[in-house]
Amino acid sequence: MHYAPRLVTLPAAPRTTGLLPTLKAQFDLWRLRSNTRRQLALLDSRTLVDLGLSPADQQAEAAKWFWQG
């Protein structure tokens, strides 16, 4: 299986005040982290070298929970 990594950008901070926009922004960030870490766990060693990451870096980041920064 060949995997083509995508450029990931973080969602912008909410521009409106209030509970619902703030919660939505937080859930969006958590979902992005979860998806990104899941994709990171699938990368092969050649791609990790291209990114400047070691297998230990990959494992450490992929093992984090979605709420961990």
User: How far is 41 from 62, CA to CA, in rounded Å?
Assistant: 6
Helix H or strand E encompassing 47: helix 45-51
Res 19: pLDDT? 92
Domain range annotation of the chain: 19-62
Return phi, psi of residue 58, to 5°.
Answer: -60, -50
Q: Is 2 helix (H, G, I), strand (E, B) or coil?
A: coil
Q: What is the pLDDT of residue 17?
A: 79
Tell me the whole-structure pTM to 2 decimals.
0.70
DSSP string, 19-33: HHHHHHHHHHHHHHH
18-60 pLDDT tens trace: 999 999 999 999 999 999 999 999 999 999 999 999 999 999 9
Per-residue pLDDT, 41: 96
